[in-house]
Each structure stands twice: as structure tokens, then as C-alpha cells.
């Protein structure tokens, strides 16, 4: 039942009429997001909704229960205002897509948009109106577990992925019953948590925020994102939850955002832990005054806002101003007209074969070929005697990855299954080897029943190790599937080391010593310092956490039905201790290439194991005819950069043309390279395509720390175009006053 879009004047009129009829308690309840399932002790969601309504309910994933609660809201609560049902639908609802970091590795915004459109359609069919995504935190520290949820280290790539995800989730019609409201999170700077430790404080200069961490959020606003979530941590000693500069001055004042902001879970209550608020009253007042509309799960708004208004500490106008955008979203989405969900819809929607196709396509496009010595890949389909080895080879959890939807049971095609489906006539032996586990169990593990199994004893692990060796010994080719379990990245999943956990590397070495060809498939949600493998294992495919069709996609690539074309959206450091490591740094002294200053560490090279933007193909490409439209432009004008990309190999394939610039001097020191444009192209053998980029004021200006404002300097620029951040094909131009 599709409703026509309301004009903004109609929306405002309906919202004002609602506000006029609402009691203070009802208004406060619109500012609360309450837990539908696992929540604080206290009255259940139904009871609160019946008495005063609720802005939103989260942590519930049950269509019948949504309808039951909605009926209470519509028919029994005083003003009959529908509830927004919210859930973390991060990379798929039933059809699980590659994790966002993997999608970013496609360097193809169409992958992000199509994946999130399917996720939205399935989630909405289950009764979910609002997802807590996209996650837009730039992350330059591979130890931080939540790097898996975002688009990696770069603001240019991150902004493209941000906008695409918003388009996928929301579409362009808020009443579309196949879309959900998106939420740009975590505003802002969370990716820079000190030491990569989750929730730890963040100190970022305004220049860093504006040049690096804000752009994906601005891109999301441009794409029409309807809501924001504030981050957990302290940003420069002010909690993001109650940071007026962020939520008011920048978000609304400068960027004109007119949606609403929700805290992160328990964020308002956390203001006490952060040593910021004196008590609940103080927390509620200061968060609201800073511009935080909705309190996620802490009850601090519910418990304190009415008192604060009654004793004159807050005005009713302040409350109304916070409620208005929440009601406006409900009106715009048509929830008053269509509050309920057909309980038979999800199964029909989830069965649509296009969704599985989209999942397989997204996984294929996300994978990155890291090594392929002597063209070991693609493998021949007439291969005899294959052994598949590794704790993740047949793990549905590791294949679907981090951030499963609440209550979801993994149902992935594992790598083992994908290979067996690809080669039905071939006997494929399998041994998992020793299992891998977190040393410190995951605090959210209790929500994830499928991962709760007894941990192997050392004896059992040794037996599994020996069985894996025997299985490999009987094969002519070994495919090893190693990496990290799903719970080793994500929230509360930071790591000090980036090595393969457990005995995986030992097993890899022992099997490699047998002298057979070995292919390594990595399933992981962050960069891994696979130094030994990078030198000794002939073929390495970074498959990330590829989602429910992931096993098919791996088989498609290993056997040459698909030529991999993904590129790393993050730098792979040689060691966890090197984090944060990213390409867009400023430099002092001489560049790394100098014979004297080769490394910043004396005990290992500081260069990455794999640079940002890196990825191989089964074919080869050449870049030529780099041309800049003008040698000199005036500040404010644009130049066009063009380059020819040619497939110089024997098979069709994809290349990502990447444009980097370096401003050679300026008001501030500028990063050695910055990505300013990219394009993924598909080319037949021998085919060429001319790719063009534009560099204008948007690309050339930056927030200057020394000037305290946006500047576009008159300066000379180097630029490079090529297949990764070490591209050597170079040109330049000059900007004059
Ligand atoms: C996470 C958010 C998430 C929220 C709701 C928090 O712990 O930081 O990213 O959206 O929980 O589940």
C-alpha cells in the first residue's frame, strides 16, 4: 500500500497538530528509545508505550511482536503515535552481504547501494523501519575491531560508500515500503580511539576532523540521510553524546541537517561514567541542550526530562524542538497510515533469487587478490585431489561475519560448500585443523548461541592439527581457509596483534613445507600482518567476511569464472604495533625511499605489507597518456585529468584507476598523497578506456589548522594515476591566485 509523498508544509502541519495534543510525558517518551527484548529491569516496552508512547524500540526482531506493540501505540496510547522499530542491519538482514569493509574493497559504490537496498527490503518486510547504519567512521588503526563496519581509512572512498549506502537504505521516497530510514554513525571520530581500544578517548584536531573524519558524514547528509547517531567516546574531552559543537554548531548550523540524532546505546547514562555529568538530571539536561534528540536505552531522558521542564531548568519549547524531527520522520514515512507489517511478507521477500544473486555478485566484486605467483590462480577445474584445510573453511559464522542481525541464524554457503558445488565430480577432502578462539570471550557472546561451543583442549587441538597434515598429505593441491572468527572483529573486538590467531600460521607453514601448491583464502574483518604468507604462499585471496553467498564467490574466483578486481580500502601493516598506519600521512625528514631514513623503526620496515588501494588481477593493465587539461589554473577553477587504462593481458578483467594528489606547499603541511578520484572499469583483452577526473575547489581546498578556516592555497600539485597508492605515472599543475 504505497502512499504519496507529503509536502514539507503538510508534514510540519501534522507535526504541530500532534504536538498540540501531546502531554509532556508523551513528548518525553518520543525522545526515548527503549529495548524490546534484552533491556534494563523495569517496565516492559508494552507498558511504557501504553502509558505514554515511545519514540522507538530497539533490540527486537519479531514481526508479530512489532505488530503487537504497534497496536498498543496506535490504539491504546494517548495520542496514537506509531513507534519506529530500529535494529542494526549492517550488511544484510536474511541475505547477508559482505561486511562494509569488504564492500569498500569493491571500490564500486553500486555494490554498496544494491546490497543495502536488498537489506532494506528484507528488513522492512520484517517490520523494521530504521537501521543503525551506515557506519561512517574513518579507521586508520587496524587493531580497532570496528574497522570492519566502515569503509576503511580514506575520506574520498569513504564518502562515496557513505552516499551509496544511504541511497540503498532509503531510496528517494520516504514512503517506499521497501526502504528503511538510515542512520549515519558514529558522529564523530570514533575510529581514532586511542590505541585502537574500543570506546577509548579520541583527540583529534579540528583540521583532522574536517579533512578526514567528517567528509563521509557530509556525503551522507547530501544523500539525504534521515538520522545520525552520536559516538560513545570523548572527543577532545567532551563526550560526543553531549558535544554541542558537533551536534549543534557543525551538524545543524553548518551542514543544515534537519533530521534527528540518537545517542549510542546507554550513551546518555555514560555521561556519568565519563566524569562529565553530575547525575542523571545533569546528563539529560546537557545532552538535550547539546542537540541530542533521542536517548538510546539508558532511560535517563525518560526519568529526568519531565522534572527538568517542571522546575524550569528546560523549557517546553526546547523539548518540542527535539521531538519535532522525530515526529516528522514518522509522518514522512507514512507510519500513521501504514503502521503494521504483513507477517507473511518476509518469507516471500527473502526467497527472491535476485537477492542471492546480489549477494554473490557483491562478494565477487569485494575480494582482493593479494598474491599470485607464477599464475597459480585461476585453478583448473579438472584438478584432482584437493584438500581444503582450516578452521574457517566450513564456518558459516566466519563467512557471514561480524554484526549479525539480532537473533539471526547463520546460513551461509561456506568456502568448502562453494568449492564442492563448483566441482561436483571432484573429491574434496577437508580438515579444519585446530579451532581458533578469542583469549578474552566476547561480552555479547550470550546473544549469539551458534558460537557457544566447548573450547578444544590442547590435546584435541593437536589431534586436529595432525589430521589436517594427513589430509593435506593425501592431496595434490591445498586450499587453506584461515583468518579470524566473526567475533574477532566488530564492537568490543580490538586486538593488539594483527597476526593470524591460534596455530594457523604454524599449520600453514607445516603444510607449505610439503611442497604442494597452496592457495590461501583469508576470511577476516581487518588487515592481517601475514608477513610469512606474503613471501612463501604462492596465491593469496583476501575474501574478507563475504556474506551468505561467500563460498560460491570464492570458488568463482579460484576457478576463474570471475576475475578478481577488488582493492584494499585499508593499509595492511607488517605488525599490529605499527598501527595506526595509513598512506595519507605528512612527512618530516626525507621520504622512506631515502637510503638513510629507510624506516621509522630500527627493528622493521615501516612500509606497509600491502599498500592502500592494492589488488591484483588475472590479467595485467597499463596506464598511459596521463593528461592534465591545464598547466595552471586560478584558485576556484578546475582541471580535468585523463588517463588511458589498457588491459594488456589475456583475459577480461577490472581495474580501479586511482587519482592521488600532493600539494607541495601551503598554509599547512599537506599529506604526501591523497586520493581524489577513482573509477572501476571492466576491459576485454587489448581494450583501452579513457578515464577522466575533475579536480576543482572541492578537491583542492582543505581546513587549515594555521588559518583556522577552509583555504585553497596557490601552490604546485603533483598528481599520480595508477592501480594503487604507490602509483608512479605522474603529472602536475599549478594553482595561482
Ligand atoms: C553500537 C552501535 C549500535 C548500538 C545499537 C552500540 O553498542 O556502538 O553501533 O548501533 O549498539 O545496537
Query: 62 catalytic, yes or no?
Result: no
- Map residue 642 onto helix, strand or coil: strand
Ligand 1 centre distance from Cα of residue 194 (Å): 19
Q: Is the CB of 487 under 6 A from ligand 1?
A: no
- Work out which ligand 1 atom sits closest to the CA atom of 149: 9
Q: Whose CA is nearest to atom 7 of ligand 1?
A: 265
Query: Last residue of a domain, which of 521, 556, 578?
Result: 578
Backbone angles phi, psi at 332, to 5 degrees: -60, -40
What is the pLDDT at residue 433? Answer: 98
Summarize the confidence of residues 145-169 as an average pLDDT: 98
Q: Is the CB of 265 under 6 A from ligand 1?
A: yes
Beta pairing class for 295-296 and 32-35: parallel
Q: Are 480 and 390 in contact (CB under 8 A)?
A: yes
Query: Last residue of a domain, which of 578, 596, 612?
Result: 578
Q: 473 and 572: one domain?
A: yes
Q: Are 266 and 296 in contact (CB under 8 A)?
A: yes
Looking at the DSSP assignment, which residues form a beta bridge with residue 521? 481, 541
Question: What are the tens digits of pLDDT across the range 466-505?
Answer: 999 999 999 999 999 999 999 999 999 999 999 999 999 9
pLDDT-derived band at 36, boundaries 50, 70, 90: confident
CB proximity list for 35: less than 8 A, separation 6 or greater = 45, 57, 58, 59, 60, 297
What is the pLDDT at residue 136? Answer: 98
Nearest Cα neighbor of 73 from 335, 446, 399, 346 is 335
Summarize the confidence of residues 331-343 as an average pLDDT: 98
Ligand 1 centre distance from Cα of residue 59 (Å): 10
What is the pLDDT at residue 698? Answer: 96
Q: Is the CB of 491 under 6 A from ligand 1?
A: yes
The answer to whether residue 294 is domain-embedded is no
- Work out which ligand 1 atom sits closest to the CA atom of 133: 10
Question: What are the tens digits of pLDDT across the range 566-614?
Answer: 999 999 999 999 999 999 999 887 666 677 777 888 898 889 999 999 9
Q: Whose CA is nearest to atom 6 of ligand 1?
A: 265
CATH number at residue 493: 3.40.50.1700
The answer to whether residue 287 is domain-embedded is no
Q: Is the CB of 370 under 6 A from ligand 1?
A: no
Q: Is the CB of 137 under 6 A from ligand 1?
A: no
- The grid coordinates listed for 292 are 541530542
Q: 359 and 423: one domain?
A: yes
Q: Whose CA is nearest to atom 12 of ligand 1?
A: 88
Task: Return d(Cα 521, Cα 390) in angstroms, integer.
Answer: 10
Q: Whose CA is nearest to atom 2 of ligand 1?
A: 264
Q: 557 and 700: one domain?
A: no
Q: What are the Cα distances from residue 118, in Å, to 184, 541, 564?
A: 18, 26, 23
Nearest Cα neighbor of 280 from 317, 306, 248 is 306
Q: Is the CB of 655 under 6 A from ligand 1?
A: no
Q: 547 and 631: one domain?
A: no
Q: Is the CB of 417 under 6 A from ligand 1?
A: no
- The grid coordinates listed for 58 are 530497539
Q: Whose CA is nearest to atom 8 of ligand 1?
A: 264
Q: Are 582 and 625 in contact (CB under 8 A)?
A: no
What is the pLDDT at residue 447? Answer: 59
Residue 673 has pLDDT above 60, yes or no: yes
Q: Is the CB of 484 under 6 A from ligand 1?
A: no
Ligand 1 centre distance from Cα of residue 298 (Å): 13
Give every strand in the sheet of 368-372, ordered side by side.
368-372, 539-542, 518-523, 477-483, 386-389, 428-431
The answer to whether residue 251 is domain-embedded is no
- Tally Cβ neighbours within 10 Å of residue 450: 12
Summarize the confidence of residues 186-207 as an average pLDDT: 98
What is Dmax (Cα atoms) for the chain?
80
Rg value, the chain, Cα: 26
- The grid coordinates listed for 502 are 591460534
Domain limits for position 380: 354-440+457-578
Ligand 1 centre distance from Cα of residue 265 (Å): 6
CATH number at residue 656: 2.60.40.10
Q: 633 and 547: one domain?
A: no
Average pLDDT, the chain: 96
Q: Whose CA is nearest to atom 4 of ligand 1?
A: 265
Q: 671 and 573: one domain?
A: no
The answer to whether residue 495 is domain-embedded is yes
Q: Are 78 and 30 in contact (CB under 8 A)?
A: no
Residue 271 has pLDDT above 80, yes or no: yes
Residue 639 has pLDDT above 80, yes or no: yes
Local structure of residue 237 (DSSP, 8 states): T
What is the pLDDT at residue 592? Answer: 64
Q: Is the CB of 88 under 6 A from ligand 1?
A: yes
What is the pLDDT at residue 180? Answer: 98
Ligand 1 centre distance from Cα of residue 349 (Å): 26
Beta pairing class for 368-372 and 539-542: antiparallel
Summarize the confidence of residues 295-315 as an average pLDDT: 97
Residue 40 has pLDDT above 60, yes or no: no
What is the DSSP secondary-structure string of 427-486?
Answer: -EEEE--S----SS--TTGGG-GGG--PPPPHHHHHHHHHHHHHHHHT-SEEEEEEE--G
- Work out which ligand 1 atom sits closest to the CA atom of 59: 12
Q: What are the Cα distances from residue 433, in Å, to 247, 481, 502, 571?
A: 50, 10, 11, 29
What is the DSSP secondary-structure string of 242-301?
Answer: G-HIIIIIIIIIIT---SEEEPPTTHHHHHHHTT--SSHHHHHHHHHHHT--BEESS-HH
The answer to whether residue 471 is domain-embedded is yes
Ligand 1 centre distance from Cα of residue 243 (Å): 18
- Work out which ligand 1 atom sits closest to the CA atom of 186: 9
Q: What are the Cα distances from residue 98, in Å, to 364, 393, 410?
A: 9, 16, 13
Dihedral angle sign, alpha carbons of residues 274, 275, 277, 279: positive
Q: Are 565 and 365 in contact (CB under 8 A)?
A: yes
Q: Are 615 and 565 in contact (CB under 8 A)?
A: yes
The answer to whether residue 509 is domain-embedded is yes
Residue 509 has pLDDT above 80, yes or no: yes
The answer to whether residue 62 is domain-embedded is no
Q: 494 and 386: one domain?
A: yes
Nearest Cα neighbor of 274 from 209, 205, 197, 201 is 201
Residue 1 has pLDDT above 80, yes or no: no
- What share of the chain in percent tops pLDDT 70? 97
Q: Is the CB of 198 under 6 A from ligand 1?
A: no
- Map residue 637 onto helix, strand or coil: coil
Q: 423 and 566: one domain?
A: yes
- Tally Cβ neighbours within 10 Å of residue 684: 11
Q: Are 206 and 236 in contact (CB under 8 A)?
A: no
CB proximity list for 405: less than 8 A, separation 6 or greater = 61, 87, 88, 89, 90, 92, 93, 123
Q: 542 and 402: one domain?
A: yes
- Work out which ligand 1 atom sits closest to the CA atom of 297: 5
The answer to whether residue 50 is domain-embedded is no
Lowest mean pLDDT segment, chosen from 43-57, 150-164, 280-294, 657-671: 43-57
Give start and end residues of each alpha helix (H) in 370-432.
Answer: 396-400, 415-422
Best of 35, 38, 39, 88 to mutate for ligand 1, by most ligand atoms within 8 A of CB?
A: 88
Task: Return d(Cα 341, Cα 126) in angstroms, integer.
Answer: 7
Summarize the confidence of residues 529-538 as an average pLDDT: 98
pTM, whole model, 2 decimals?
0.97
User: How many domains does the chain contain in total?
Assistant: 2
Q: Is the CB of 678 under 6 A from ligand 1?
A: no
Ligand 1 centre distance from Cα of residue 578 (Å): 28
Ligand 1 centre distance from Cα of residue 172 (Å): 26
Question: What are the tens digits of pLDDT across the range 129-155?
Answer: 999 999 999 999 999 999 999 999 999
pLDDT-derived band at 338, boundaries 50, 70, 90: very high
Q: Is the CB of 654 under 6 A from ligand 1?
A: no
Grid look-up 566476547 returns 442
Task: Return d(Cα 365, Cα 351) in angstroms, integer.
Answer: 23
Given 141, 264, 282, 295, the catalytic residue: 264
What is the pLDDT at residue 212? Answer: 98
Question: What are the tens digits of pLDDT across the range 715-735?
Answer: 999 999 999 999 999 999 999
What is the pLDDT at residue 383? Answer: 75
- Work out which ligand 1 atom sits closest to the CA atom of 132: 10
Q: Is the CB of 132 under 6 A from ligand 1?
A: yes
Amino acid at each position: 500500500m504505497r502512499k504519496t509523498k507529503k509536502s514539507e508544509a503538510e508534514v510540519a502541519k501534522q507535526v504541530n497538530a500532534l504536538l498540540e495534543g501531546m502531554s509532556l510525558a508523551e513528548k518525553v517518551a518520543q525522545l526515548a528509545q527503549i529495548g524490546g527484548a534484552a533491556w534494563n529491569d523495569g517496565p516492559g516496552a508494552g507498558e511504557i508505550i501504553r502509558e505514554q508512547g515511545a519514540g522507538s524500540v530497539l533490540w527486537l526482531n519479531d514481526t508479530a511482536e512489532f505488530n503487537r506493540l504497534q497496536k498498543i501505540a496506535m490504539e491504546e496510547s494517548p495520542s496514537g503515535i506509531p513507534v519506529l522499530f530500529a535494529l542494526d542491519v549492517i550488511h544484510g538482514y536474511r541475505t547477508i552481504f559482505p561486511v562494509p569493509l569488504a564492500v569498500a574493497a569493491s571500490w564500486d559504490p553500486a555494490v554498496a547501494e544494491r546490497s543495502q537496498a536488498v537489506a532494506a527490503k528484507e528488513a522492512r518486510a520484517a517490520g523494521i523501519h530504521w537501521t543503525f547504519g551506515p557506519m561512517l567512521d574513518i579507521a586508520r588503526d587496524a587493531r580497532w575491531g570496528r574497522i570492519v563496519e566502515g569503509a576503511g581509512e580514506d575520506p574520498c572512498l569513504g564518502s562515496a560508500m557513505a552516499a551509496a549506502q544511504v541511497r540503498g537504505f532509503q531510496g528517494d521516497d520516504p514512503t517506499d515500503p521497501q526502504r528503511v530510514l538510515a542512520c549515519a554513525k558514529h558522529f564523530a571520530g570514533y575510529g581514532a580511539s586511542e590505541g585502537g581500544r574500543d570506546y577509548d578517548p579520541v583527540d583529534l584536531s579540528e583540521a583532522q576532523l574536517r579533512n578526514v573524519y567528517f567528509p563521509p558524514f557530509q556525503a551522507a547528509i547530501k544523500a539525504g540521510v534521515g538520522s545520525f547517531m552520536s559516538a560513545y567516546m570523548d572527543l577532545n574531552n567532551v563526550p560526543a553524546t553531549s558535544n554541542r559543537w558537533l551536534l549543534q554548531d557543525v551538524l545543524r548550523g553548518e551542514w543544515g541537517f534537519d533530521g534527528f540524532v540518537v545517542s549510542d546505546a546507554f550513551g546518555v547514562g555514560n555521561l556519568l561514567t565519563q566524569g562529565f555529568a553530575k547525575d542523571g538530571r545533569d546528563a539529560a539536561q546537557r545532552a538535550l541542550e547539546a542537540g541530542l534528540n533521542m536517548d538510546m536505552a539508558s532511560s535517563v531522558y525518560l526519568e529526568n526530562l519531565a522534572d527538568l521542564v517542571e522546575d524550569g531548568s528546560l523549557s517546553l519549547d526546547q523539548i518540542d524542538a527535539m521531538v519535532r524531527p522525530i515526529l516528522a520522520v514518522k509522518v514522512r514515512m507514512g507510519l500513521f497510515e501504514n503502521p503494521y507489517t504483513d507477517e507473511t511478507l518476509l518469507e516471500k521477500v527473502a526467497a527472491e533469487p535476485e537477492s542471492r544473486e546480489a549477494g554473490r555478485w557483491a562478494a565477487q566484486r569485494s575480494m582482493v587478490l593479494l598474491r599470485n605467483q607464477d599464475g597459480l590462480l585461476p585453478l583448473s577445474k579438472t584438478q584432482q585431489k584437493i584438500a581444503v584445510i582450516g578452521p574457517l573453511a566450513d564456518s558459516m559464522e566466519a563467512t557471514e561475519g561480524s554484526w549479525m542481525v539480532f537473533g539471526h541464524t547463520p546460513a551461509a554457503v561456506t568456502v568448502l560448500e562453494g568449492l564442492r558445488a563448483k566441482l561436483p565430480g571432484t573429491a574434496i577432502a577437508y580438515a579444519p585443523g585446530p579451532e581458533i578462539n578469542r583469549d578474552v570471550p566476547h561480552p555479547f557472546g550470550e546473544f549469539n548461541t551458534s558460537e557457544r561451543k566447548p573450547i578444544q583442549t590442547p590435546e584435541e587441538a593437536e589431534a586436529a592439527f595432525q589430521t589436517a597434515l594427513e589430509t593435506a598429505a593425501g592431496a595434490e593441491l591445498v586450499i587453506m581457509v584461515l583468518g579470524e572468527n566473526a567475533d574477532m572483529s566488530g564492537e568490543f573486538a580490538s586486538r593488539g596483534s594483527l597476526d593470524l590467531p591460534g596455530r594457523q600460521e604454524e599449520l600453514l607453514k607445516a603444510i607449505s613445507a610439503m611442497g604442494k601448491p597452496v592457495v590461501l583464502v583469508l576470511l577476516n574483518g581487518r588487515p592481517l600482518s601475514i608477513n610469512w604468507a606474503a613471501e612463501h604462499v604462492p596465491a593469496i585471496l583476501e575474501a574478507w567476511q563475504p556474506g551468505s553467498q561467500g563460498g560460491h564467490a570464492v570458488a568463482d574466483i579460484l576457478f576463474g569464472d570471475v576475475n578478481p578486481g577488488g582493492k584494499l580500502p585499508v593499509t595492511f601493516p607488517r605488525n599490529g604495533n605499527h598501527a595506526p598506519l595509513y598512506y595519507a600521512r605528512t612527512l618530516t625528514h626525507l621520504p622512506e625511499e631515502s637510503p638513510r631514513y629507510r624506516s621509522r623503526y630500527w627493528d622493521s620496515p615501516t612500509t606497509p605489507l600491502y599498500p592502500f588501494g592494492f589488488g591484483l588481477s588475472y590479467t595485467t593493465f597499463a596506464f598511459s597518456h596521463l593528461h592534465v587539461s591545464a598547466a595552471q589554473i586560478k584558485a576556484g577553477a578546475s582541471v580535468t585529468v585523463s588517463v588511458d587504462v589498457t588491459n594488456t593481458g589475456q583475459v577480461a578483467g577490472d581495474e580501479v584507476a586511482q587519482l592521488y594528489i600532493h600539494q607541495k606547499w601551503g598554509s599547512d603541511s599537506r599529506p604526501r598523497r591523497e586520493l581524489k578520484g577513482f573509477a572501476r572499469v571492466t576491459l576485454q583483452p587489448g581494450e583501452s578506456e579513457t578515464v577522466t577526473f575533475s579536480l576543482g575547489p572541492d578537491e583542492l581546498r582543505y581546513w587549515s589548522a594555521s588559518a583556522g578556516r577552509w583555504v585553497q592555497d596557490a601552490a604546485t600539485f603533483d598528481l599520480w594515476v595508477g592501480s594503487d597508492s604507490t602509483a608512479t605515472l605522474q603529472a602536475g599543475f599549478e594553482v595561482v591566485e
